[in-house]
């Protein structure tokens, strides 16, 4: 047995109509064995012969996981004919060895009945539902040169964002065939650092890396920016971490509205600092919401939401990155359902809403009245910015890392005295009095 090369899209062989098998000789048996071996060693659960360059009506499929109800033993299916499919269709996430790394939500019949031949040429019938039905439907498509992307109508999408939260979403939108990304809109370059060097937003950098057209704007209210967005005729706008209010004129533009990725369990923590505020409040969990925005900030109807636990030593930066990834995956999952009209957005309950504020450089200043738990939360919430500090002899001492011990007492791990390098706290203590806080 040998591992065969798997052809990937856009190879024209994947588009050919497979021929029926009529000879079940040794050469055929060897091909089947190689296909099974290739599928297994590629961690696939289904493979059609055309994917390994043999344009014949042969499918292999296998999914054996203990304690998974979707498991099915090895199937070798030759010359399949569809006898019946259910009217009921469902969405399931699909992958394909010819599209490495891609996962698409596709709607297909829940059940399928086929007649076929086994590997010895003997007639068989298979009636299946769930995952096996899905695999059979997907692989039968391959036999007529149909690929999973053919089941999708890409949505003309414009992405608007400036901050880190939107980076994974932009990457998914630019790569997932569900979306046809026509432009990326981001804030103008801003002076950054001590030398005030004009610096593009992280979204501008990502877009350039992805070879996407970038439009940098000062204000989304500018007539020129509005006309530009209109000329792109978006069916969908995805908004993440942009920091500017969007006008009704833009909100009403795309057929599917503007979807916003917000890193909290809305209606809690609306506004500019949901991640920092959730950590400061000592929340054990937060989440990410996909909403369709309206004219009120973060008050739009919720299309989807997932809960995410906050780690006891997690900083705002780490949590935000995790939420960004969850949000991007959730967006990719939601959009196919939304386009199919299978999502009923849920109104936010304004009575449960809470607002967050903008923090500034002085937000991390300790007053010496904070409890251990409060200092711990502040250090995590204000990492990396603006940092938490106390003052000794008119110099600021930043606490760069800390945690609580089993007795819930604050343990400082590292500090950065003003004008000096970051150091272990033990090193700092060698020449200084301990930093003390309220209990
Ligand atoms: Ni496939």
Taking the centre of ligand 1 as the mean of its atom positions, its distance from the CA of residue 331, in whole angstroms, is 23
As a whole number, mean pLDDT of residues 120-141 equals 97
Residue 257 and residue 139 share a domain: no
pLDDT (0 to 100) of residue 438:
59
Q: Do residues 161 and 144 share a domain?
A: no
**Shared-domain flag, residues 309 and 177:** yes
Do residues 283 and 400 share a domain?
A: no
pLDDT band for position 192 (cuts 50, 70, 90)? confident
Out of 352, 384, 405, a domain closes at 352
**Which of 132, 151, 170 is the last residue in one of the domains?**
151
Same domain, 185 and 298: yes
Taking the CB of residue 367, how many other CB atoms lie within 10 A of it?
Answer: 9
pLDDT at 100: 94
Residue 55 domain-assigned?
Answer: yes
* Residues spanned by the domain of 122: 12-151
Whether 439 shows a pLDDT value over 80: the answer reads no
Residue 1 belongs to a domain: no
Residue 266 dihedral angles phi and psi, to the nearest 5°:
-60, 145
What percent of the chain shows pLDDT beyond 90? 91
Note if 138 is an active site residue. Answer: yes
* Residue 139 annotated as catalytic: yes
The alpha carbon of 96 and the centre of ligand 1 are apart by a number of angstroms equal to 4
At 298-318, the pLDDT tens digits run 999 999 999 999 999 999 999
In-domain check, residue 404:
yes
**Is 46 part of the annotated catalytic residue set?**
yes
Ligand 1 center from residue 51 Cα (angstroms): 8
User: Can you tell me the mean pLDDT for 128-149?
Assistant: 96
User: Count of CB atoms within 10 A of residue 8's CB?
Assistant: 13
Is 172 found in the same domain as 131? no
Question: Catalytic site residue 262?
Answer: no
Catalytic residue among 31, 44, 47, 51: 51
User: Are both 146 and 160 inside the same structural domain?
Assistant: no
Give the domain CATH number at 378: 3.10.25.10
pLDDT of residue 194: 81
Active site residue 44: no
> Which one is catalytic: 14, 111, 132, 138?
138
Residue 258, SS3?
strand
**Nearest C-alpha neighbor of 33 from the set 65, 3, 5:** 3
Q: Tell me if 104 is assigned to some domain.
A: yes
> Both 144 and 254 in a single domain?
no
Contact residues for 13 (Cβ-Cβ < 8 A; gap 6+): 7, 50, 53, 55
Q: Is 374 a catalytic residue?
A: no
Structural domains of the chain, count = 3
How far, in Å, is the centroid of ligand 1 from the Cα of 238?
29
**pLDDT at residue 195 in the model:** 87
Of 99, 126, 151, the last residue of a domain is: 151
Express each pLDDT in 247-293 by its tens digit: 999 999 999 999 999 999 999 999 999 999 999 999 999 999 999 99
65-93 residue pLDDT tens: 988 889 999 999 999 999 999 999 999 99
Phi, psi of 329 (to 5 degrees): -65, -40
Name the active-site residue from 62, 111, 139, 333. Answer: 139
Looking at 14, 44, 46, 132, which residue is catalytic?
Answer: 46
Tell me which H or E stretch contains 317.
Answer: helix 316-339
pLDDT in tens, 352-409: 999 999 999 999 999 878 999 999 999 999 998 999 999 988 899 999 999 999 999 9
Q: What is the CATH number of the domain that holds 188?
A: 3.40.50.170
Calculate the alpha carbon distances from 289 to 103, 238, 248, 292, 323 in Å: 21, 13, 21, 10, 10
Pairing of strands 155-161, 179-187: parallel
């Amino acid at each position: 047995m040998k591992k065969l090369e798997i052809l990937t899209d856009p190879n024209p062989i994947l588009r050919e109509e497979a021929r029926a098998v009529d000879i079940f000789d040794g050469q055929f048996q060897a091909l089947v064995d190689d296909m099974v071996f290739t599928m297994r060693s590629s961690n696939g659960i289904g493979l059609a012969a055309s994917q390994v360059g043999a344009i014949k009506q042969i499918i292999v499929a296998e999914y054996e996981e203990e304690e998974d109800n979707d498991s099915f033993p090895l199937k070798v299916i030759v010359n399949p004919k569809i006898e019946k499919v259910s009217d009921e269709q469902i969405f399931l996430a699909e992958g394909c060895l010819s599209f490495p790394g891609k996962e698409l939500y596709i709607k297909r019949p829940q059940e399928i009945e086929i007649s076929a031949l086994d590997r010895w040429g003997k007639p068989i019938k298979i009636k299946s539902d769930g995952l096996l039905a899905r695999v059979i439907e997907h692989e039968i498509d391959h036999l007529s040169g149909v690929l999973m992307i053919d089941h999708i109508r890409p949505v003309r999408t414009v992405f608007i964002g400036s901050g880190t939260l939107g980076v994974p979403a932009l990457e998914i939108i630019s790569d997932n065939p569900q979306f046809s990304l026509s432009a990326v809109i981001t804030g103008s370059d801003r002076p950054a650092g001590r030398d005030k060097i004009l610096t593009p937003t992280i979204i501008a950098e990502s877009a350039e890396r992805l070879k996407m057209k970038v439009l940098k704007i000062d204000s989304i209210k500018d007539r020129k920016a509005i006309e530009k967005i209109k000329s792109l005729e978006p069916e969908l706008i995805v908004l993440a971490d942009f920091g500017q209010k969007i006008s009704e004129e833009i909100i009403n533009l795309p057929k599917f509205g503007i979807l916003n990725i917000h890193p909290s369990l809305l209606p809690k923590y609306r506004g500019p600092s949901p991640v920092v505020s959730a950590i400061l409040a000592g929340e054990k969990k937060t989440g990410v919401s996909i909403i369709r925005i309206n004219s009120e900030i973060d008050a739009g109807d919720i299309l989807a939401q997932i809960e995410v636990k906050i780690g006891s030593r997690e900083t705002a930066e780490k949590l935000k990155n995790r939420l960004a990834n969850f949000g991007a995956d959730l967006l990719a999952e939601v959009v196919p359902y939304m386009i199919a009209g299978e999502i009923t957005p849920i109104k936010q309950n304004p009575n449960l809403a809470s607002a967050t504020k903008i923090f500034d450089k002085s937000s991390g200043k300790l007053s010496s009245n904070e409890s251990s738990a409060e200092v711990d939360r502040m250090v995590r919430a204000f990492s990396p910015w603006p940092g938490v500090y106390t003052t000794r002899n008119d110099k600021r001492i930043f606490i760069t890392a800390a945690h609580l011990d089993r007795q819930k007492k604050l343990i400082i791990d590292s500090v950065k005295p003003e004008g000096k390098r970051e150091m272990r706290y033990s090193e700092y203590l060698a020449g200084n009095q301990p930093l003390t806080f309220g209990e």
